[in-house]
Amino acid sequence: MKILYLADGQSVHTVRELESYKKLNHDIHLITYNKTPLNGITIHYVPNKKLFIPLRVLKTLWLIRKIKPDIIHTYYLANNGLIASLSGKHPLIHTIMGSDIITFPEINIIFRLLIKYALNTSDIVHVSDETSKNRVLELGCNKDRVFVQEWSVDLSKFSPKAMDNLKHIYNVQYLVLCTAWWKPDCFVDILIKAIPLITREISSIKFILLGGGPEEGKLKDLAEELNVKHYIEFIGRVPEDEMPKYLASSDLVVDTITNYTFFRGRLFKRTQGFGLGQANRQALACGTPVLATNNIIGEKADSCALFHYKQFDHEDLANKLVAIISNNNLIHLERELARDYATQNFDENKNFNNWNNIYMKLVTK
C-alpha cells in the first residue's frame, strides 16, 4: 500500500520511526517542512520559510491530492495533523507528540477548537501512554478512536550489551547520566545544585550531561560557583548511535523534566503529568534505572525501574540518588526489571507488526 507521512523530517522520532516503517515493504512517502535524506522513502519537501502559512497549507493539500495515498499518518497534531484533516482524506491516523495536546489547545479558544476538529476527523489517534489518552478524551476525542502504544526502541541497539568502559576512562565508581536539554524548562540546574550534597556521601562519581542548549553558560557558571565542575562532564548533544554507550554504562539516569514547560514564551503547567520520554525508554532498554520527577506517570513506578523525587527539590533528589546507587543489590535487581519492562513494552518489531495490522484493517474496511 501507499502510506503518506506528514512529519518533521529532521526529528529523531521521525527518522527512527520511518526507518522502521520501511521494513513493512510499503510505498512510503513523507511530506516535510525540513529537508532530510531518507533512503527508500519518497520525500516531498515544502519550504517552511519561503512560503507563508496559507501557501504552505495549500501546497501540502495539493501534494496529498497528487500522491493519492491509501493511508495518511501524521506526527504532531497542531500543524501536520490539522492540515491532513483539512484534506478530507481517509483513512487518517494522528500520532500525538505532547505539546500539541498539552499546551497548544491552552493558547486560546480558537486553537483548542482546531485541535478538537483534528481529533474528531481522524480514524485513529495514537498516544504513547494513559496520560495522553486521558488528555485527548478531555479534548473531546471519541474513545473508540484512541490507540495506546509506547514509542518503539531498537532493543538490539539499546541493550545492556552496549556498556562501555566509561567508568574506567573517568576513573570513578559511579556514573550518573542526564540527557535533558540545557533549556530553561528542563531544569538541569536542579541536578547541579544536588551534586554538592551527593558528593559529601559519594566522592567517586561523575555526572555526564548530554543534550546541549542555550543554558550552557549558566549551567557551567553554576557548577563553578558550587565548586562541583570537576564532577561534571558537559558533553552536549551526541549522535543517536552513541546514546546506547552512555545509557548502558551509567548506574542511573536522572530526568529533570517537571510538569512545567515554556511554549511561545509562556509558562504552562501539565495538569495531568507526562509520560516517560524516549530517552528514558532507551535507558530502561539498556537496563539502566531512571530517577525522575514525581509527575511522570505514577503507575509505571510499580512495573519498571523508575524512581521519583520531588520536582524542584534538589535535596530530595540528592537523598534519593545516594540511596539508590549505593545499594548494589537494588541496582542489580532494577537493571533486570528495566530490561524486562522494555522488552515487553518497547519492542520495535512487535510494535510495527501492530502498525501493519492496523494499516491493513483500515484499507480493507
Cα 139 to its chain centre, rounded Å, is 22
- What is each CA distance from 74 to 102, 239, 252, in whole angstroms? 17, 25, 34
pLDDT at 193: 98
Residue 299 burial (CB count, 10 A): 11
Q: What pLDDT band is residue 270 in, cutting at 50, 70 and 90?
A: low
Q: Looking at this protein, which amino acid is placed at residue 125? A: V
Question: pTM for this structure?
Answer: 0.87
Rounded Cα distance between 213 and 217, Å, is 9
Residues forming CATH 3.40.50.2000 domain(s) in the chain: 2-152+348-363, 160-345
Rounded Cα distance between 78 and 284, Å, is 30
In tens, the pLDDT along 88-107 reads 999 999 999 887 888 788 78
For the segment 319-347, the average pLDDT, to the nearest whole number, is 91
pLDDT at 51: 64
Q: Which of 33-37, 128-132, 195-199, 277-281 has the lowest mean pLDDT?
A: 33-37
Architecture label for domain 2-152+348-363:
3-Layer(aba) Sandwich (3.40)
For the segment 79-96, the average pLDDT, to the nearest whole number, is 95
CATH 3.40.50.2000 fits 160-345, yes or no: yes
pLDDT at 131: 82
pLDDT at 104: 82
Q: What pLDDT band is residue 303 in, cutting at 50, 70 and 90?
A: low
Q: Which of 26-40, 55-69, 243-257, 269-283 has the lowest mean pLDDT?
A: 269-283
Helix (H, G, I), strand (E, B) or coil at 151: coil
Helix (H, G, I), strand (E, B) or coil at 28: strand
Rounded Cα distance between 222 and 228, Å, is 9
In tens, the pLDDT along 243-269 reads 999 999 999 999 998 877 766 666 666
The answer to whether the CB of 252 falls within 8 A of the CB of 334 is no
Segment holding 174, helix H or strand E: strand 174-178
The answer to whether the CB of 150 falls within 8 A of the CB of 303 is no
Q: Looking at this protein, which amino acid is placed at residue 116? A: K
For the segment 270-285, the average pLDDT, to the nearest whole number, is 79
Q: What pLDDT band is residue 299 in, cutting at 50, 70 and 90?
A: very low
Going by C-alpha positions, the residue among 263, 154, 247 that lies closest to residue 208 is 247
pLDDT at 300: 47
Q: What is the DSSP string of 190-225?
A: HHHHHHHHHHHH--SEEEEEE---TTHHHHHHHHHH
